[in-house]
Structure 1
Amino acid sequence: MALYPLSRGLRAVFVCNILSSTLWFCCLGRFLLLLPLVGRRFLPAAIADFFHIVAVLPLVTFFVVNLMGRENHKSSDFWGLFNAARMVWICYGVIYPHPKIAKHTSYLTLILTWCILNLIDSTYYAFKVKTHSSPMWLFRLHHLHFFITAPVAIVSEMILIFLSGTYEKHHVYELFLDGCLIAYLPIAFFAFKHLLARKKDKYDDYLEKRRLGRSGGVELSGALGSVPNEQPEAGQPET
């Protein structure tokens, strides 16, 4: 797997993805290590601060990619910004004001899901930037994990928003939380359609070309082409 020289902008994107994958891996490792040691009841207090800081990285990555790593922008970039901003809002606008809701199992499910999906995505994009390719197993994980992570994350977030609304004392913000809860499923539907379209374009079409290439005696490389014009999407629904 060849290593390509990077411009200053792409070097910043690469470093940002490496940093993200490392911190998400640390967050996942901390979660898996502390869960059997302190139990479900005390785990939120042991991991929440670190997790909430790491959850800001997708938003940072989005701006680094769009300001330093890309020249052309497209309408689908909206989902990257929406997903990243949503993660920050969930942490600091839903959970942080009412820490009691972090004791609910949905918070632990959210941590595990976000760690897994962001670890996969940031690692994939780090490979793409530096090598213009990726291992086939990582390529498959990147384009298929949303079938599991997206529904789990959506349900976990909706539960936390509902619980936050029950503790909220400011009437206006309570109405805002209720409105977000009502809008969550329609937005999730369109986000899921976007992910399916991305899968068809980046995954299904590539595998079909690979199959046709093999039948014609031509072996394609194990991953998609160059990354500079592809924007790393920050988070899922992808959430």
Structure 2
Amino acid sequence: MSYNNTQLYLLISDLVRSFLSACVFLRLGILFPLTGPRFLPGGIADFFLTVYTTSVLLDGFEYVTIFRHVPKTGVPRTSGRRILATVFARVFLTAALLNYPKAAKNIAFSIVILCSSVVDFFRYTYNFYKVRTYGGSVGWLTNLRRVSYTFGQPVLVASEAALIFLCLRLVETEYGYYTDYLDYDWWANKFAFITKTVVYCYGPVFYLIYKTKVASLWKNTTKSHVKTE
């Protein structure tokens, strides 16, 4: 088979992100039994957050430069709204954890690592196979992708929301940003307002995206070879 430059880029991009997701999962499996959730961030946080954020930034880049201009057939693709929501959520959570790393000691951070690595691994592996076979798919891989998203994504989003809420609590109680002085600290004040807004919107936005995505994933299951991402 011969591939054009766009297909070669997608093959490499999906394969690398699938491999990195597997690396995150394996690293979690090795470190978590040894360190537990409180000390896990010291051995995996930087690597995970880099993979976690870069993956969706590449999704955004690919949507703007490639998938926005092609029909919804023949290649894996997703919706612009879901891409935008995912990019914002992951970038915001990464920024929050980098500013308030104590939140990463909570078990929710370990769950985020687990769920995101599993969901992303099957998604990018599916995308790679679909590009490589010019839109083909295999039943077991398609079903693994469906199941991982259907059950893993709600747990992932709930854990992300929990971490964002923990960061909000840290803004108000630790690192010198006590409640009595919150109004006098510009960064803490603005971050607290933005974080509260994000927490309130997280559930409704996720529900709308999730309902549409799951319906798309499980629609016409006997004709999955013509389905797109």
Return the TM-score normalized by structure 2: 0.83
SS of structure 2 residue aligned to 1:145: helix
Shift of 1:59: 1.5
Aligned to 2:38: 41
Aligned to 2:117: 115
Distance 1:163 1:136 in 2: 40
Structure 1, 53-62 or 111-120: larger mean CA deviation? 53-62
Query: Structure 1: where are the runs of 5+ without partners?
Result: 210-222, 233-239
Is the CA contact (8 Å cut-off) linking 1:9 and 1:69 kept in structure 2?
no
Aligned to 2:202: 184
Does residue 162 of structure 2 align to residue 159 of structure 1?
yes
Aligned to 1:216: none
SS of structure 2 residue aligned to 1:6: coil
Structure 2 counterparts to residues 158-237 of structure 1, below 5 A: 158-168=161-171, 169=177, 170-199=188-217, 203-207=218-222, 223-225=224-226, 230=228, 232=229
Distance 1:73 1:15 in 2: 22
CA 1:189–1:65 in 2, change beyond 3 Å: closer, same or farther? Answer: closer
Does residue 33 of structure 2 align to residue 15 of structure 1?
no
Please provide the CA RMSD for this pair: 2.1
Distance 1:76 1:68 in 2: 12
Shift of 1:164: 0.5
Is the CA contact (8 Å cut-off) linking 2:15 and 2:128 kept in structure 1?
yes
Which residue of 97, 107, 111 corresponds with 1:105? 107
Greater relative contact order, per chain length (Cα 8 Å cut-off, separation 6+)? 1
Deviations 1:37-61 (A, max 9, x none): 2233211110000001101222213
Distance 1:62 1:144 in 2: 24
Distance 1:73 1:181 in 2: 35
Distance 1:145 1:37 in 2: 26
Going by fraction, where is helix more abundant, 1 or 2? 2
Distance 1:66 1:10 in 2: 16
Deviations 1:14-63 (A, max 9, x none): 11000100111111110001112223321111000000110122221331
SS of structure 2 residue aligned to 1:5: coil
Equivalences, count: 207
Deviations 1:82-133 (A, max 9, x none): 21332122112x2111000111000101110100000010000000000132
Query: Structure 2: where are the runs of 5+ without partners?
Result: 73-77, 172-176, 178-187
Is the CA contact (8 Å cut-off) linking 1:5 and 1:130 kept in structure 2?
no
Is the CA contact (8 Å cut-off) linking 2:41 and 2:105 kept in structure 1?
yes
Aligned to 1:6: 3
Does residue 96 of structure 2 align to residue 81 of structure 1?
no
Is the CA contact (8 Å cut-off) linking 1:10 and 1:69 kept in structure 2?
no
Distance 2:105 2:35 in 1: 13
Distance 2:98 2:198 in 1: 17
Does residue 137 of structure 2 align to residue 134 of structure 1?
yes
Amino acid corresponding to residue 119 of structure 2 in structure 1: L
Q: Using the aligned pairs only, state the percent identity.
A: 26
Distance 2:29 2:23 in 1: 10
Distance 2:221 2:204 in 1: 30
